[in-house]
């Protein structure tokens, strides 16, 4: 938090958690997909489900998916803007369980280039968000740093490849978390960094043995 | 951000700078930005506040249809000479409604400290600027005063209705606006904190009980009391009326009340106004 979280942000109302946070969730999903969005399925949970419509949460998520920022005055008209960009979207409901944050949403995206992404995220207050899951694997991050998600087979050496790639590009790791669904099964590494990761490094990583998918959140405008 | 208003006062005295400058310097160091960058960014916040007031559209209705057009009614009553309060308070009332209604209608506002309480600080500052013809730089300094006070509240208590009830949102906004106004009226740093303390004290215990869970009823109109309370608190402080309880301790009291508040009156729409028969009827209508 800094002073401009107290006086600020400039945002489209009515709610920092239900509107501004929801825009940021949509925008984060868009950046993670890294493909033109063709289709979006948006499933709301908890308070997002019960009071989302009155807060414009539906318009806010779609605004983010269409690339709008939290202060874009066109947010109320985001449905039209998304349709113009060729994004088709549907809304539904999901029960993510009692442990899930009340302001949670699951977004499934398909891109025109064939990429897919499933992201679960929560709006945790004051416009701040927390991504919870990527493609069904736990991946907790704020979206405030460049973030690399490597999905891989749970075999030795993958993390070493990642660390080597980052260090040879002079990139500092801010946080690192590792999860797996079972021993020898699917695993994921979530790495928040202080610098943007160049495209060729990502390409190299994606083609290493045992790496299934590399997803990257760039904070650069696309 | 500072952990106490006392520390801001001490720092201001040690460095022989005004309250707002002590707030700015501390943030520049933490955020690693220059004083000029910081000042221009704060100026853009003030300009966005002016714009949020200017862009009010009385024809707009909120998503639920419950909010819209109220500021215009007040405006007309002012024009027709129906109101008994003077011009400044009438302006503060009207502007707090304009900005808070705009927020409910998905227009662009400045969260200060939150979206639900976004009408309070601009209503007070813009009205006083109009009244006294204050240059913009001074208004930006006043915003630092407001942000400094809000920052301490964020650290010692909370700025979120879900965590601390409406006292944490409208109460905090009112304290921020009161301190900023005292500064604009020429008060010293101690008097600024007294104004904030007096404002927050008067709104302690306020529940967050939004009808149908929306930032509409009673939120929009509570911006009016937050703003007017800021003016009366600053007026008391500049008259030499001190808060007998120091500002930091008032903030701690707000935090402790917030922690003891049942969940039903912390933004969940399960208590207070939100469960009155009328509110339930409204909620049922919106769901259909």
Order across the sheet with A137-141: list the strands.
Answer: A88-93, A37-45, A103-111, A116-125, A128-134, A137-141
Query: What's the gap between Cα B37 and its chain centre?
Result: 24
Q: Report the range of poorest mean pLDDT among A56-60, B29-33, B48-52, B206-210.
A: B29-33
**Cα torsion angle, A47, A50, A56, A61, sign:** positive
Q: What percent of chain A has pLDDT over 90?
A: 81
Nearest CA in chain A to B112: A7
Q: Say if B1 is an interface residue toward chain A (CB within 8 Å).
A: yes
Contacts of B105 in chain A (CB under 8 A): 13-14
From the CA of A102, how many Å to the nearest CA of chain B? Answer: 10
Residues of chain A with CATH 3.30.1330.90: 3-134
Count of CB atoms situated within 10 Å of the CB of B36 = 9
Distance between CA A132 and CA A148 in Å, rounded? 14
Angstrom distance (rounded) from CA B262 to CA B240:
37
Question: Coil, strand or helix: which one is B146?
Answer: helix
pLDDT tens per residue across span B92-145: 999 999 999 999 999 999 999 999 999 999 999 999 999 999 999 999 999 999
Q: Looking at beta carbons, which residues of chain A come within 8 Å of B23?
A: 3
**How much is the average pLDDT of A112-139?**
93
For residue A204, the model assigns a pLDDT of 93
DSSP structure class, residue A196: P
The β-bridge relationship of strands A128-134 and A137-141 is antiparallel
What is the ipTM, given to two decimal places? Answer: 0.95
pLDDT at residue A1 greater than cutoff 90: no
A-contacting residues in B 217-256 (Cβ below 8 Å) = none
pLDDT of residue A52: 85
| C-alpha to C-alpha distance for B44 and B40, rounded to whole angstroms | 6
Do A73 and B215 lie within an 8 Å CB cutoff? Answer: no
What pLDDT is stored for residue A128 in this prediction?
A: 86
- Distance from the Cα of B141 to chain A's closest Cα (Å) equals 12
Q: Which of B63, B151, B214 sits opposite A3 (nearest CB)?
A: B151
Residue A59, pLDDT above cutoff 80: yes
CATH hierarchy code of domain A3-134: 3.30.1330.90
Residue B52: CB atoms within 10 A of its CB come to 25
Q: Find, in chain A, the residue whose alpha carbon is nearest to that of B153.
A: A6
Q: Is B150 on the interface with A (CB under 8 A)?
A: yes
Distance from CA of B175 to the nearest CA of A (A): 13
| pLDDT (average), residues B276-286 | 91
Dihedral in degrees, nearest 10, Cα atoms A7, A8, A10, A14: -90
- Say which of A4, A7, A13 has its CB closest to residue B106: A13
Interface probe for A, chosen from B51, B115, B164 (most Cβ of A below 10 Å), is B115
Question: A147-217 — its CATH code?
Answer: 3.30.70.260
For residue A28, give every residue at least 6 positions away whose Cβ sits within 8 Å of its Cβ, in sequence order, or none: A64, A119, A121, A129, A131, A143, A217
Q: Inter-chain contact B159–A6, Cβ cutoff 8 Å? A: yes
Q: Which of B30, B114, B269 sits opposite A16 (nearest CB)?
A: B114
pLDDT (0 to 100) of residue A2: 85
Alpha carbons B101 and B62: distance in angstroms, whole number: 8
Whole-number percent of chain A with pLDDT over 70: 99
Average pLDDT over residues A170-184: 92
Across the interface, do A10 and B64 touch by the CB < 8 Å criterion?
Answer: no
Optimal mutation site among A15, A68, A71, interface B, most CBs of chain B within 10 A: A15
A125: nearest CB among B31, B104, B160: B160
Residue A126's pLDDT is 78
Say whether B54 sits in a helix, a strand or coil.
Answer: helix
Instruction: Spell out a b/e string for A155-165, using b for 16 or more CB atoms within 10 Å of the CB, else e.
Output: eeebeebbeeb
Q: In B, which residues are within 8 Å of A58 by CB distance?
A: none
Hey, are the CB atoms on B45 and A19 less than 8 Å from each other? no
- Which member of B27, B111, B121 has the closest CB to residue A2? B27
Q: Which residue of A has its CA nearest to B150?
A: A6
Q: What is the pLDDT of residues B241-280, one digit of tens each?
A: 999 999 999 999 999 999 999 989 998 889 999 999 999 9
Shortest CB distance from B160 goes to which of A55, A71, A126? Answer: A126
Query: Are the C-beta atoms of residues A134 and A32 closer than 8 Å to each other?
Result: yes
Report CB contact under 8 Å: B159, A19.
no
Chain B residues with beta carbon closer than 8 angstroms to that of A16: 111, 114-115
Q: What is the pLDDT of residue A222?
A: 53
Q: Which pLDDT belongs to residue B242? A: 97
Given an 8 Å threshold on Cβ–Cβ distance, is B115 in contact with A19? yes
- Report yes or no: B200 and B238 within 8 Å, Cβ to Cβ: no
Q: CB of A143 within 8 A of CB of A153?
A: no
| φ, ψ dihedrals at A90, nearest 5° | -135, 155
pLDDT one-digit tens code per residue, A10-51: 999 999 889 999 999 999 999 999 999 999 999 999 889 988
pLDDT band at B288, cuts 50/70/90?
low
Task: Give Cα A158 distance to the centre of its chain.
Answer: 23
Which candidate from A1, A51, A71 shows the least CB-CB separation from B214? Answer: A51
Residues of chain A contacting B176 with CB distance shorter than 8 Å: 6
Model pTM above 0.80? yes
């Amino acid at each position: 938090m800094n002073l401009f979280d107290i006086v600020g942000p400039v945002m489209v109302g009515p709610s920092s958690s239900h509107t501004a946070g929801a825009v940021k969730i949509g925008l984060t999903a868009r950046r993670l997909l890294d493909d033109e969005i063709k289709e979006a399925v948006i499933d709301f949970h908890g308070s997002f489900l019960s009071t989302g419509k009155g807060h414009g949460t539906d318009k806010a998520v779609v605004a983010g998916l269409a690339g709008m920022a939290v202060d874009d005055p066109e947010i109320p008209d985001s449905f039209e803007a998304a349709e113009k960009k060729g994004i088709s979207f549907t809304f539904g409901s999901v029960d993510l369980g009692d442990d899930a944050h009340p302001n949670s949403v699951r977004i499934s995206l398909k891109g025109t280039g064939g990429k897919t992404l499933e992201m679960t995220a929560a709006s945790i207050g004051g416009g701040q968000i927390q991504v919870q899951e990527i493609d069904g694997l736990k991946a907790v991050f704020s979206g405030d740093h460049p973030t690399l998600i490597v999905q891989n087979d749970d075999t030795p050496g993958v993390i070493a490849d990642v660390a080597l790639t980052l260090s040879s590009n002079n990139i500092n790791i801010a946080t690192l978390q590792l999860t797996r669904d079972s021993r020898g099964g699917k695993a994921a590494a979530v790495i928040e960094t202080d610098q943007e990761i160049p495209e060729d490094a990502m390409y190299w990583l994606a083609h290493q043995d045992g790496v299934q998918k590399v997803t990257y959140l760039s904070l650069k405008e696309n | 951000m500072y952990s106490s208003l006392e520390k801001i006062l001490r720092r201001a005295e040690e460095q022989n700078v005004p309250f707002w400058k002590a707030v700015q310097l501390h943030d520049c160091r933490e955020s690693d930005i220059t004083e000029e960058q910081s000042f221009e960014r704060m100026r853009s916040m003030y300009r966005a506040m002016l714009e949020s007031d200017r862009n009010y559209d009385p024809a707009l209705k909120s998503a639920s249809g419950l909010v819209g057009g109220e500021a215009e009614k007040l405006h007309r009553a002012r024009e027709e000479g129906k109101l008994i309060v003077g011009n400044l308070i009438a302006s503060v009332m009207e502007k707090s409604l304009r900005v808070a209604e705009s927020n409910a209608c998905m227009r662009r506002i400045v969260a200060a400290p939150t979206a639900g309480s976004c009408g309070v600080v601009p209503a007070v500052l813009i009205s006083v600027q109009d009244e006294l013809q204050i240059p913009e730089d001074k208004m930006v300094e006043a915003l630092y005063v407001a942000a400094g006070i809000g920052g301490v509240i964020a650290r010692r208590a909370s700025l979120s209705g879900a965590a601390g009830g409406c006292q944490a949102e409208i109460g905090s906004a009112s304290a921020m606006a009161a301190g900023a106004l005292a500064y604009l009226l020429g008060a010293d740093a101690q008097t600024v904190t007294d104004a904030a303390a007096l404002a927050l004290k008067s709104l302690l215990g306020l529940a967050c009980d939004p009808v149908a869970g929306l930032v509409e009823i009673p939120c929009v109109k509570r911006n009016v009391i937050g703003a007017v309370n800021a003016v009366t608190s600053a007026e008391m402080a500049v008259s030499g009326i001190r808060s007998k309880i120091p500002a930091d301790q008032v903030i701690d009291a707000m935090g402790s009340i917030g922690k003891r508040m049942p969940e039903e009156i912390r933004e969940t729409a399960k208590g207070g106004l939100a469960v009155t028969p009328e509110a339930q009827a409204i909620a049922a209508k919106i769901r259909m």
